[in-house]
Amino acid sequence: MTRAQPVEIWFEFASSYSYLAVMRVEAAAREVGVSLHWRPFLLGPVFLSLGWNDSPFNIYPPKGRYMWRDMARLAAKYDIPFRLPSQFPRNGLLAARVAMLGQNQPWIADFARAAMRANFGEDRDIGQREVIAEILEALGLPAAELIDAAQTPDNKLALRGQTEQAATLGIFGAPTFLVGGEMFWGNDRLEDALAWASRGD
């Protein structure tokens, strides 16, 4: 019996540092016996509420230049594939809708990693239906069926609700880890979030 608390990972498919965290989180959580809940959301509306109509990495060029260099270094450190995306941020809406549909399904971790890797490791446009379809097929999932289900009004509304919940929870960036009422922002805090969860407070 573990007294560990579950960890929620709130992530966005267009977010560079979400990529690093999504690639690492499942293995890291398993290693310390912490259960994991996936929470896709849209950063766009959250950024808009802070007055940004684009990624802050585009709005503030020195920050953006640094971020890409930092990403390259960290990807090398973690041994995660990285290729500078030819478009940033990409449209992560369809991927987020599919992830919303599957957030409690056994395939969520594999899908999240594959879609993230397509964007930041392979420079593919995950905003395209064909790209998402190919990713789902490669996982042995019924692509057309899932993509249609992801685009029903109910599922769209569910993702919008989850995004509003993110803002309500005080989330202002991605990835964000929630452990009970405790918030940890950024790939850099993955280990601290898991350590907090392991304490079982």
Q: Interface with a second copy by CB under 8 A: which residues?
A: 50, 60, 62-63, 65-66, 69-70, 73, 77, 170-173, 183-186, 188-189, 192
Question: What is d(CA 194, CA 6) in angstroms, rounded to the nearest whole number?
Answer: 9
- Judged by beta carbon, residue 21 or residue 98, the one nearer a second copy is 21
Nearest 5°: CA angle at 29, between 184 and 35? 90
Least distance to a second copy from the beta carbon of 12, Å? 16
User: Is the dihedral angle over the CA atoms 152, 160, 187, 121 positive or is it negative?
Assistant: positive
Indicate the residue among 70 and 125 with the shorter CB distance to a second copy. Answer: 70
CB 12, CB 163: distance < 8 Å: no
Residue 70 CB, nearest distance to a second copy (Å)?
Answer: 7
Taking the least distance from each CB to a second copy, the nearer of 25 and 179 is 179
Q: How far apart are the first and last CA of the chain?
A: 15
Among 201, 164, 195, residue whose Cα is nearest residue 177: 195
Minimum distance, C-beta of residue 36 to a second copy, in the bound complex (Å)? 21
Task: In angstroms, give the least distance from the CB of 84 to a second copy.
Answer: 17
Residue 118 or 190: the one with the smaller Cβ distance to a second copy is: 190
